[in-house]
Structure 1
Amino acid sequence: MIKLKPGCSAAVLVLAAIASKPACAEVTLYGILDTFVGYTNAGGKGAQTAEQSGGLYASRVGLRGSEDLGGSLRATFDLENGILTNNGSATNSTQAFSRNAWVGLASRYGEVRFGLQNSALLIMHSRFDAFNGGTYGSLLHNASTFTFRYNNMITYWSPNVAGFTFSGGVSLGGQTSPHDALNAYVGAIDYQRGPVYLGVSHAEQNGANGEVLTKTTFAGGSYQFGNLTGYVGFYRGNNLGANLNTNVAGTYHSVYWLSAGYMVTPALHLMAGIGYVQDSTAQHDNAGEVSIGTYYNLSKRTLLYATVARLVNRHGASYALIGNGPFTPNTPARGEGVTGAQLGIVQFF
């Protein structure tokens, strides 16, 4: 991370000017650059080799900062944009900051944030997975459909109390009739103490009529046994079609995911996972995946990673190996499987 001492000017994007002014707040320029080469062979579609952005992490660049207002009160903000490192484009060309754009106030009693924010579900589900909720190797991510982030969000993030933290928020739909149409509600609670981590998060999205249309839940945890860490992850959602107009109340699909990571050396880590997708509809569009992977830290800021995965679909299921980047996957024909391997590099700054 690059830390700059900005002045009172709001022109935070003019970095050179900011750095030369008298300090009144601290701003950090940060980013993650993740590029990989992936090979997939999808049933009914064929083989593909492609360079993509965002295997282990979604690539991004951002500015975050805070200002001490006195009396333990701080003003905070984060501006973050998604990028594609394989071609240099923005993940969303219509937005200046597609991942985060919020301001907040923080104290010893917690923090309140206003604006575009990552969902607690996105933040939490990576902690249930040896693959960090990314790469071809994570069925928990490959087979889960949920909203990554929300516009018009108001959230509260609690301080740590005896190992417990809590967050809750509402995304305002801004409608007049009914006034809660298109609102979304998100909450999460987790516990971290010693080798144990446990968490659960839940989101509900209203439809245009103000009634709850989609429900999504993540739950799981991890336990560290020396150099070995075991993970369990669970997902349940009724957003089957990734489209608010296609969801059916009471119809869900669930993902059950077991994975483990082993630290061979401080630099070398090995991962493995196995999971199953269960569809509660009459179509029984089930699926399963097994995967292995590794990453190697070349330094504190640079790592290499590799994964191999096999995903099998049943009946009409067509899950694919998607990783963390917003790229078009090699999706198999319905009921067909896909095999994939990837080799990537990540640079943090």
Structure 2
Amino acid sequence: MRKMALACSAALVALGTVTVTPARAEVTLYGILDTYLGYTNAGGKGAQTAMQSGGLSASRVGIRGSEDLGGGLRATFDLENGILTNSGAATDSTLAFSRSAWVGLGTPYGEFRFGRQNSVLLLMHSKFDAFSGGTYGSFLHNASTFVFRYDNMITYWSPNIAGFTFSAGASLGGQTSPHDALNAYVGSIDYQRGPLYLGVSHAEQNGANGKINTKTTFAGGSYQFGSLTGYFGYYRGNNLGSNISTNVEGKYHSVYSLSTTYSVTPALRLAAGVGYAQDSSGQHNNAGEVSVGAFYSFSKRTLVYGTLERLVNRHGATYALIANGPITPNTPTRGEGVTGAQLGILHSF
């Protein structure tokens, strides 16, 4: 018994030594759970009411971490998987981590990341919009077509320098002939000082022949006037269809967005926006949208939101209300419009 007591005492002393040692590595479990009821009435298709996942933000669960390596260096990583909170399914059953899977090295001069990563276009365009690039109300999101994330990505993220930050990255296609076939290149620069925010991001994707196949640009900003914040956003891309093979060099469409939010109270925020899509392909497949919304925060982690919107298509346009999660939209027939409404709840942890 005495030997056992001594062994237990030694174990407790060792455990106490471990617990008081300053932690140099941190791992965080995080996530967003966003579920909403959506109503859409699409011209030529009819009305649909459905529960969906990812209205304001796509639902996800992730693990991120960092380790202090000393000398100003740190190792970082992020593993993130998309989920559908209305069904419990993964957004992509073929991937263990469909949204992010990267490891990085941070330095005093910026951070380098390697692996599957979100496109900076996805991260930035939400800052140009009163609807945060989500919900049916974001025409900037509804009418733009771009790659959300890239595999085999190498990126650099700069530190803040007098309000400016920038990033640059390349996605390697891994081809031998030509060696740059299927490569993608992305970059961004933004500026934040006081109530003003400005940003621009750009991406180019090579085809199988190594020549540039698609070009995509977002630009915009915001300015806060007390309780009122104004946003403007611009998109230009030759992603004229969801099928990349339809993209034609020199045939672009552009999206213009103006929106605003008003903080009635610290918890309640009202939003309104208008947007217009202009087709330069010569087919005049233009569209426009008017949206209103309300967002109420019960806490820093939980909010409820609701939106109302009307999207109008012209000629052969078939833009739809798509929100932020992966759904099969209620797409109107060519040249028809769609009316929508949402009521959702979001919790983050």
Q: Name the SS for the 1:245 alignment partner.
A: helix
> What pairs up with 1:246-261 in 2 under 5 angstroms?
246-261=246-261
CA contact (8 A) 1:75 1:105 kept: yes
Corresponding residue for residue 210 of structure 2: 210
> What pairs up with 1:151-300 in 2 under 5 angstroms?
151-300=151-300
Q: CA deviation at 1:107?
A: 1.4
Q: CA deviation at 1:135?
A: 0.2
Corresponding residue for residue 76 of structure 1: 76
**What is the CA–CA distance in structure 1 between the aligned matches of 2:36 and 2:161, rounded to whole Å?**
40
Q: CA deviation at 1:303?
A: 0.2
Corresponding residue for residue 135 of structure 1: 135
Q: CA deviation at 1:216?
A: 0.1
Instruction: Specify the code of the residue in structure 1 equivalent to 2:156.
Output: Y
Flag the structure with higher helix content.
Answer: 2
> What pairs up with 1:71-150 in 2 under 5 angstroms?
71-150=71-150
**What is the CA–CA distance in structure 1 between the aligned matches of 2:93 and 2:25, rounded to whole Å?**
30
Q: CA deviation at 1:243?
A: 2.3
> What pairs up with 1:314-329 in 2 under 5 angstroms?
314-329=314-329
Corresponding residue for residue 304 of structure 1: 304
**What is the CA–CA distance in structure 2 between the aligned matches of 1:172 and 1:115, rounded to whole Å?**
10
Corresponding residue for residue 10 of structure 2: none
Instruction: Specify the code of the residue in structure 2 equivalent to 1:61.
Output: V
Corresponding residue for residue 63 of structure 1: 63
TM-score of the pair, normalised by structure 2: 0.93
Corresponding residue for residue 8 of structure 1: none
**What is the CA–CA distance in structure 1 between the aligned matches of 2:293 and 2:252, rounded to whole Å?**
29
Q: CA deviation at 1:82?
A: 0.2
CA contact (8 A) 1:120 1:201 kept: yes
Corresponding residue for residue 4 of structure 1: none
Q: CA deviation at 1:24?
A: 5.0
Q: Name the SS for the 1:125 alignment partner.
A: helix
> What pairs up with 1:3-14 in 2 under 5 angstroms?
none
**What is the CA–CA distance in structure 1 between the aligned matches of 2:258 and 2:215, rounded to whole Å?**
23
Instruction: Specify the code of the residue in structure 1 equivalent to 2:228.
Output: L
Corresponding residue for residue 9 of structure 2: none
Q: Name the SS for the 2:140 alignment partner.
A: helix
CA contact (8 A) 1:121 1:148 kept: yes
Instruction: Specify the code of the residue in structure 1 equivalent to 2:205.
Output: Q
**What is the CA–CA distance in structure 2 between the aligned matches of 1:107 and 1:23, rounded to whole Å?**
19
CA contact (8 A) 1:101 1:117 kept: yes
Q: Name the SS for the 1:181 alignment partner.
A: coil
**What is the CA–CA distance in structure 2 between the aligned matches of 1:197 and 1:282, rounded to whole Å?**
34
**What is the CA–CA distance in structure 1 between the aligned matches of 2:243 and 2:62, rounded to whole Å?**
29
Larger Rg: 2
Q: 1:118-167 CA deviation, whole Å, 9 max, x = no partner?
A: 00000000000000000000000000000000000000000000000000
Q: CA deviation at 1:242?
A: 2.1
Q: CA deviation at 1:281?
A: 1.1
Runs of 4+ that moved beyond 2 A: none
TM-score of the pair, normalised by structure 1: 0.93
CA contact (8 A) 1:146 1:242 kept: no
**What is the CA–CA distance in structure 1 between the aligned matches of 2:246 and 2:172, rounded to whole Å?**
22
Q: CA deviation at 1:246?
A: 1.4
Identity of aligned residues (%): 79
**What is the CA–CA distance in structure 1 between the aligned matches of 2:164 and 2:337, rounded to whole Å?**
40
Instruction: Specify the code of the residue in structure 2 equivalent to 1:265.
Output: T
**What is the CA–CA distance in structure 1 between the aligned matches of 2:257 and 2:140, rounded to whole Å?**
6
Q: 1:11-41 CA deviation, whole Å, 9 max, x = no partner?
A: xxxxxxxx9xx95511000000000001100
Q: Name the SS for the 1:190 alignment partner.
A: strand
Q: CA deviation at 1:267?
A: 0.2
Q: 1:261-314 CA deviation, whole Å, 9 max, x = no partner?
A: 010000000000001000001210000000000100011110000000000000
